[in-house]
Amino acid sequence: MSANQTQPTQISVQTFLDGIDHERKRDEARHLDALFRRVTGKEPVIWGPSMIGYGQYHYKYDSGREGDFLRTGFSPRKAKHSLYLMGGYCDEATGRKNDELLARLGKYSKGASCLYVNKLADVDLDVLEELARLNWDAMNRVYPPG
């Protein structure tokens, strides 16, 4: 069984944030970093080349595949910020509450466990913080910290 290709790195989060080319994206990434630090109380770690993760958890699928991954976080991609809010993916009640909050969030798109935001001005930041907290709490319930 192959290991998860996205692993934590030794890259400094500050160095990573400082290296974001576009000024608005860099400022927004710093804002998201502050939001996730507030919600999680965790120091971030760079996962792979571009994901900023807060906490980690161990997963094991029925197939036998297992590994470690970030509990929550984001990636300031060139086109859109990718926010990793996985609590709704692994907890049905959180998924329903996510839907209620997303109705108030503003302009976004989503995948199974990702929320995509073009720019922070497009969303209600209080709702975004509530989403981050809801999903962080769900991940901690489903995958209790060890």
Task: List the beta bridge partners of residue 45.
Answer: 53
Asked whether residue 39 is assigned to any structural domain, the reply reads: yes
Asked whether residue 5 is assigned to any structural domain, the reply reads: no
Q: What is the pLDDT of residues 62-93, one digit of tens each?
A: 888 888 999 999 999 999 999 999 998 888 99
Q: What is the residue range of 135's domain?
A: 13-141
Spell out the residues 6+ positions from residue 24 whose beta carbon is closer than 8 angstroms to its own.
119
Asked whether residue 20 is assigned to any structural domain, the reply reads: yes
Asked whether residue 6 is assigned to any structural domain, the reply reads: no
Asked whether residue 22 is assigned to any structural domain, the reply reads: yes
Asked whether residue 7 is assigned to any structural domain, the reply reads: no
**pLDDT-derived band at 3, boundaries 50, 70, 90:** low
At residue 62, the pLDDT reads 87
- Tokens 């209790």 belong to 144
Rounded distance, CA 109 to CA 132, Å? Answer: 16
Nearest to 70 by CA among 44, 91, 88, 95: 44
Q: How many residues does the chain have?
A: 146
27: domain CATH number is 3.90.1150.200
Burial 22-50 (b: 16+ CB within 10 A, else e): eeebeebbeebbebbeebbebebbbbeeb
Residue 51 CA to chain centroid, in angstroms? 8
Nearest to 136 by CA among 97, 107, 108, 109: 97
Asked whether residue 2 is assigned to any structural domain, the reply reads: no
Asked whether residue 40 is assigned to any structural domain, the reply reads: yes
| Mean pLDDT of the chain, nearest integer | 94
Q: What percentage of the chain exceeds 90 in pLDDT?
A: 84
Rounded distance, CA 67 to CA 28, Å? Answer: 30
- Dmax (CA) of the chain: 44
Q: How many domains does one find in the chain?
A: 1
In angstroms, the Cα distances linking 22 to 74, 79, 120, 140 are: 17, 11, 14, 34
